[in-house]
A and B are shown apart, each in its own frame.
Chain A
């Protein structure tokens, strides 16, 4: 006998999908339809069958499996009481669980200030800046650089929170250029080294099938992956927010992978991909639990190289942001940097202390890491950070080994 006898499969599927989505999974209504169809066809002899059918149809990422597991447990504990009772079909099993969510029709932006109207859909956060600009009476685009120059040279620890909040926007603009690499994909280009047979023959149609014009093609340039690894330990506290903004800007701009570490490494790419600055930073704060703890650079880089994200470093531009205070032995960092160097295309080190007068990389870890870096860049002010982005985006770094600290 079927587990779901007496249950309206369509509303069961929709209800489950809806709850899954509210818990942050990416299931869509289309998935719900597939799920309902699959439920119809499978014999469903025990509750675990529903688990597998649902997991196959509604879960699209490995990180969503725990969400599904939790929801399944929640629903099927309730189902034992609920299923099979005739008449409970309209809103079968799921209504027993988390019923309070049922009447909330649309998700708004949680906690954020309402902007103008209390519409039931989320309005673009960009509206906020527009209103601000109006208040000040100057909505000119030139406003930005002058403001930038006012705070550009102030160290990050001296910036007030309002400026810090705007930082993300400026940094996003700084990423207008991006390092590129040659891809294997061809695109038509005059004077390219290859002949595109398909297009050539298409063109020959116009010349009585005489291939008079050879259409040429060349390899397309693609954005190169940028991997940012930022230190958010206690010694970096003053810079952590700015670097979070930097990471978010990179993720927004193009193909970037970002990681934060203090004692543990956490991947922030998915959380920082959120369009809203506030939401993204808030979520990042929730993910990085060991913020402002001690620093273990070498172990964290080893973890990164070993993890399944280690392959992301292949051929990438790797940027490590840290002051180099490491509680791991320098020899370990030396080994892991050598491996990183072999895997990455370029390695840059951003050090907020490198901007200070008379800075010398004498901390053990910094001295161990430097031979493997293409450049050591100071990143203590916004201007320095924007310059650093320009160097990183340039792609043409000086040959390996020539390390310079620019003040």
Chain B
């Protein structure tokens, strides 16, 4: 589930299918019946959204729910998550409380564009993820870009590691590295050469300043690389 500002119960937990409810009312009227609230607010008209889905999942294994970039949502949405994270339950006022048979594994991610509330932190375990070590990065790249040659993967991981030590507006992350390696692999590159790096720099540098900084430092970076061999 991707978070954004203004995310409400209707997008995250559940929603009633109003169109079908109105239709049901019309049909009942045509039959000269009076519909009751208990006829309209039943499971038939309930639309599950990711959180309720995770709660009501009946599989053999507990489901895994990713709530991505929770810092992009607002405080109100954080408050919505409390019951779900604390008790693995969701309350639909008209129907009652649904409690998960197997509490789902929930992963929340945040880019720290906003401080998350302590109450939310309290219901989570906290893990801070650094840039991966070179060896780990190579493993990740090997899995995500299977088409790239082995020496290229190693060189690319090292190169990005050095680029990160430059004074950049946006240090390239793992996603950028994967894009870059993908681009290099698509071009059929087997060894890092200046021209290829410059051609594919758009995947690593995301501002004109960064582009200039990496291009300027390219010779140094390559020299280090050759010295390292």
CB within 8 Å for A185 and B5 given contacts A61-B121, A198-B10, A201-B18 = yes
A57 on interface, CB distance cutoff 8 Å:
yes
CA distance A186 to B10 in the complex (A): 12
1/0 per residue A59-84: CB within 8 Å of B?
11110010000000000000000000
A60 touches B25 (CB 8 A): no
- Asked if B58 is an interface residue, CB under 8 A from chain A, the answer is no
Q: Which residues of B from 6 to 26 have beta carbons under 8 Å from A?
A: 6, 8, 10, 16, 18, 21-22, 25
A391→B35 CA distance, assembly (Å): 56
B76 at the interface (CB under 8 A from A): yes
Contacts of A59 in B (CB 8 A): 126
Which residues of B lie under 8 Å from residue A183 when comparing CB positions? 5-6, 74
Decide yes or no whether B112 CB sits under 8 A from chain A: yes
**Number of chain A interface residues as a range:** 20 to 34
Least Cβ–Cβ distance between B18 and chain A, in angstroms: 5
| Contact of A56 with B169 at beta-carbon distance under 8 Å, contacts A183-B74, A201-B21 already known | no
Q: CB of A115 within 8 A of chain B?
A: no
Residues of B within 8 A of A185 (CB): 5-6, 8, 74, 76
In the bound assembly, the distance between CA atoms of A383 and B7 in angstroms comes to 42
How near does chain B come to A240, taking the closest CB pair, in angstroms? 26
- B10 near A209 with CB under 8 A, answer no
Are A184 and B5 within 8 A (Cβ)?
yes
How far in angstroms is the closest Cβ of chain A from B30?
A: 13
A30 at the interface (CB under 8 A from B): yes
Q: Is B34 an interface residue (CB 8 A)?
A: yes
Which of A104-112, A122-130, A133-141, A303-311 lies at the binding interface? A303-311
B6→A186 contact, CB < 8 A: yes
Q: B216 contacts the other chain (Cβ, under 8 Å)? A: no
A193 part of interface (Cβ distance < 8 Å): no
Tell me if A400 counts as interface (CB < 8 A to partner B). no
Q: Are B6 and A28 in contact (CB under 8 A)?
A: no
Chain B at the A interface: mostly helix, strand, loop or mixed?
A: loop
Q: Which residues of B contact A209 (CB under 8 A)?
A: 25, 34-35, 40
**Contact yes or no, B113 A311, CB < 8 A:** yes
Asked whether A57 lies within 8 Å of B25 as measured between CB atoms, the reply is no
B127 within 8 A of A: yes
Instruction: Give the residue name and chain of the A residue nearest to B28 (CB).
Output: A209
- Contact call A31/B122, Cβ cutoff below 8 A: yes
Q: Is A116 engaged at the interface, CB distance under 8 Å to the other chain?
A: no
Question: Given the known A-B contacts A183-B74, A186-B6, are A208 and B125 also in contact in the complex, defined by CB atoms under 8 Å?
Answer: no
Could you tell me if A57 and B125 are in contact, using CB atoms closer than 8 angstroms? yes
In angstroms, Cα B34 to Cα A29, docked, is: 54
Query: A28 CA to B124 CA in the complex, in Å?
Result: 13
A30, B6: Cβ atoms closer than 8 Å: no
Q: Take A60-B122, A65-B128, A183-B74 as given contacts and tell me if A211 and B22 are in contact as well, using a CB distance cutoff of 8 Å.
A: yes
Q: A198-B10, A201-B21 are contacts. A28–B122 as well, Cβ < 8 Å? A: yes
A306-345 with Cβ < 8 A to chain B = 306, 308, 310-312
* Contact (A56, B22) CB under 8 Å given A183-B6, A201-B16: no
The proximity string for B residues 157-170 relative to A, scoring 1 for CB distances below 8 Å and 0 otherwise, is 00000000001111
- Top 8 A-B residue pairs of the complex, sorted by shortest distance between their CB atoms: A184-B6, A60-B121, A185-B6, A56-B125, A209-B25, A311-B113, A197-B18, A184-B5
A-B CB contact pairs (8 Å), 15 listed: A31-B122, A60-B121, A60-B126, A61-B121, A62-B128, A183-B6, A185-B6, A185-B76, A198-B16, A209-B25, A222-B74, A306-B170, A308-B111, A308-B112, A312-B113
**Given A62-B112, A209-B34, 6 more pairs with CB closer than 8 A:** A55-B127, A57-B125, A60-B126, A61-B126, A185-B74, A205-B37
